[in-house]
């Protein structure tokens, strides 16, 4: 936990205290009253079903102080009143970053930003005490909660910055101003909300506008829209990709024995990396993470040591042995680009290859074509394609004779029980809203074909 006093919080936010000891050190910061302990700061935010104000008395009973809106009706317990508790929480993060001179890395992109966050953290930890945003905590609520929970010795913070509309990343760069900003790629994720690829590009580009003076952009030269953003910025740019002019060039990526061997090249020569994750698409993530490290004073040799020691469990694709078959679980989220990357992993395995694919959400006008193209790609690399969900009818159509369509997870599970064989390799991927984790659980309970 980052050490701070209630007095510092009052100074940073301008909150009006009631029954609060300014010298008291804060035990933790939370938006969940069930996580409060003596001297916690409970930030009462509005939710979809309840308002945090409804749980202030619970927080008091645990010995916590509550940060509430100025109009909150109760009194008698320790309170910090402010016009906007969310804004106040974000102000706390910004002020602590400035006061402690913490170096921030901002990462965004339509696909791969979480993997890049993990690899970047592994690189920076070879030299610095480095924290990171946790899980999918990539919003104005999630970033501060992750930040405050990190070590008091932290000098660097890696912030994944997500968005669903224009202005969100711009706001995140205000509360966590990046010294280094990376964009992995720009694709049709959130096209449904933003309406056009140009709008998505502009929304992602906000991270470059938020760079501090003297900051560095680390950008994917292979992505045309990212390249356009890089040409427009006045900040220093480090490029990665397959082009010969890149600062760190990707020569080759190959999956071998549960690892990915990556060959890179820069002005010093060629470098080889053995990454304990599977996926040739990680060549780009590794190159980006190493350049971020370089921008912050870490040599390529030390950075490679960091990525080679990254936690295997941090990988998005998890191979699971279920009976006599192998299941490649990647059920966190999905887009056409990430679907194809996962199918590339599937094709690297020996055995009959079964792609079990579900709806990709929020694709807007790209929905029909995106699903159909994924079906075509799956048919080129898998032996059987099972598509689940209403949108995925187009995946089945794209897969032609190899495609089978199911309306529900239950239907798909019953189908898989009949068609799967020993030694099959099964790849599962869909948007989070499809709840594919349920299908994984059912397969584990079943135990696979005998």
HSE-up of 8 (CA within 13 Å, CB side)? 17
| CA-to-CA dists, residue 405 to 341, 401, 423, 439, angstroms | 22, 11, 23, 15
The CATH number for 441's domain is: 3.90.190.20
Do 43 and 169 lie in one domain? The reply is no
pLDDT at 111: 87
* Residue 113 annotated as lining a ligand binding site: yes
168 falls in which pLDDT band (50, 70, 90)?
very high
User: Is residue 259 over pLDDT 90?
Assistant: yes
Q: Which residues pair with 103 in a beta bridge?
A: 156
Q: Which residues pair with 8 in a beta bridge?
A: none
Do 298 and 390 lie in one domain? The reply is no
pLDDT at 331: 85
Residue 278 domain-assigned (yes or no): yes
Do 298 and 216 lie in one domain? The reply is yes
| Cβ contact 167:193 at 8 Å | no
The answer, as to whether pTM is greater than 0.85, is yes
Single residue among 264, 291, 314 that ends a domain in this structure = 314
Single residue among 314, 339, 358 that ends a domain in this structure = 314
- How open is the CA angle 176-179-182, to the nearest 5 degrees? 90
* Residue 110 annotated as lining a ligand binding site: yes
pLDDT at 24: 98
User: Is residue 351 over pLDDT 90?
Assistant: yes
For 72-127, the pLDDT digits (tens) are 999 999 999 999 999 999 999 999 999 999 999 999 999 889 999 999 999 999 99
Angle between helices 85-100 and 168-175 in degrees, nearest 10: 50
Q: DSSP characters for 347-412?
A: HTSSS-EEEEEEPPPS-GGGHHHHHHHHHHHHHHH-SEEEEESSTTHHHHHHHGGGEEEESSHHHH
Measure the CA–CA gap between 32 and 262, rounded to whole angstroms: 43
Single residue among 37, 64, 88 that ends a domain in this structure = 88
**What is the domain count for the chain?**
3
pLDDT at 387: 98
* Residue 206, both tokens: 């906000």
Q: What's the full length of the chain, in residues?
A: 450
Residue 398 domain-assigned (yes or no): yes
Parallel/antiparallel/unpaired status of strands 103-108 and 180-183: parallel
Question: Span 25-44, mean pLDDT?
Answer: 98
Alpha helices (H) along 237-299? 282-295
SS3 for 136-159 is: CCCCCCHHHHHHHCCCCCCCEEEE
* Residue 109 annotated as lining a ligand binding site: yes
* Residue 112 annotated as lining a ligand binding site: yes
Do 126 and 73 lie in one domain? The reply is no
SS3 182: strand
Percent of the chain with pLDDT over 70: 100
Measure the CA–CA gap between 252 and 100, rounded to whole angstroms: 40
Do 118 and 264 lie in one domain? The reply is yes
User: Which value, to the nearest 10 degrees, does the dihedral of the CA atoms of residues 257, 121, 123, 225 take?
Assistant: 80
288 falls in which pLDDT band (50, 70, 90)?
very high
Mean of the per-residue pLDDT values of the chain: 96
Do 142 and 280 lie in one domain? The reply is yes
Do 252 and 121 lie in one domain? The reply is yes
Question: Span 349-359, mean pLDDT?
Answer: 97
Q: How far apart are the first and last CA of the chain?
A: 49
| Cβ contact 333:449 at 8 Å | no
User: Is residue 442 over pLDDT 90?
Assistant: yes
Do 174 and 308 lie in one domain? The reply is yes
Residue 95 domain-assigned (yes or no): no
Residue 93 domain-assigned (yes or no): no
The CATH number for 78's domain is: 3.40.1390.10
The CATH number for 262's domain is: 3.40.1190.10
pLDDT at 199: 95
313 falls in which pLDDT band (50, 70, 90)?
confident
Residue 96 domain-assigned (yes or no): no
Give the structural domain span for 11: 6-88
Q: Which residues pair with 274 in a beta bridge?
A: 261
Do 222 and 291 lie in one domain? The reply is yes
Do 326 and 405 lie in one domain? The reply is yes
DSSP state, residue 342: H
Do 375 and 329 lie in one domain? The reply is yes
Do 79 and 123 lie in one domain? The reply is no
Residue that wins the pLDDT comparison between 319 and 9: 9
């Amino acid at each position: 936990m980052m050490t701070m006093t209630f007095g510092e919080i009052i100074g940073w936010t301008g909150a009006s205290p009631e029954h609060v000891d300014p010298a008291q050190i804060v035990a933790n910061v939370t938006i969940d009253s069930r996580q409060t302990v003596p001297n916690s700061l409970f930030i009462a935010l509005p939710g979809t079903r309840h308002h945090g104000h409804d749980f202030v008395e619970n927080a008091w009973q645990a010995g916590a102080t509550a940060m509430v809106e100025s109009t909150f009706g109760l009194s008698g317990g320790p309170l910090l009143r402010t016009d906007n508790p969310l804004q106040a929480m974000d102000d706390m993060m910004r002020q602590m970053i400035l006061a402690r001179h913490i170096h921030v890395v901002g990462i965004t992109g339509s696909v791969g930003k979480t993997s890049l966050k993990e690899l970047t953290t592994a690189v920076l930890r070879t030299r610095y005490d480095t924290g990171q945003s946790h899980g999918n905590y990539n919003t104005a609520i999630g970033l501060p909660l992750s930040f405050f929970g990190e070590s008091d010795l932290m000098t660097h913070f890696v912030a994944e910055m997500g968005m669903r509309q224009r202005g969100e990343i711009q706001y995140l760069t205000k509360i966590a101003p990046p010294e280094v900003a990376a964009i992995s790629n720009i694709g049709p994720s959130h096209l449904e909300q933003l309406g056009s690829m140009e709008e998505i590009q502009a929304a992602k580009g906000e991270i470059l506008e938020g760079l501090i003076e003297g900051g560095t952009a680390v950008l994917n030269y292979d992505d045309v829209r990212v390249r356009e953003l890089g040409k427009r910025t006045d900040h220093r740019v480090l490029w990665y990709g397959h082009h010969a002019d890149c600062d760190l060039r990707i020569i080759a990526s190959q999956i071998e024995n549960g690892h990915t061997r990556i060959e890179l090249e820069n002005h010093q020569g060629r470098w080889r990396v053995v990454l304990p994750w599977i996926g040739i698409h990680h060549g780009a993530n590794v190159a980006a993470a190493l350049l971020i490290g370089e921008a912050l004073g870490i040599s390529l040799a030390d950075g490679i040591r960091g990525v080679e020691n990254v936690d295997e469990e941090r990988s998005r694709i998890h191979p699971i042995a279920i009976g006599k078959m192998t299941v490649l679980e990647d059920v966190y989220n999905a887009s056409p680009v990430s679907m194809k990357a996962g199918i590339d992993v599937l094709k690297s395995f020996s055995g009959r290859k079964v792609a079990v694919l579900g709806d990709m959400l929020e694709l807007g006008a790209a929905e029909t074509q995106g699903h159909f193209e994924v079906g075509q790609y799956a048919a080129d690399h898998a032996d059987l394609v099972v598509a689940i969900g209403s949108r995925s009818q187009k995946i089945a159509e794209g897969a032609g004779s190899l495609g089978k369509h199911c309306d529900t997870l239950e239907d798909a599970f019953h189908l898989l029980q009949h068609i799967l064989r020993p030694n099959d390799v099964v790849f599962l991927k869909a948007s989070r809203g499809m709840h594919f984790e349920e299908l994984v659980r059912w397969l584990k309970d079943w135990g696979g074909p005998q």
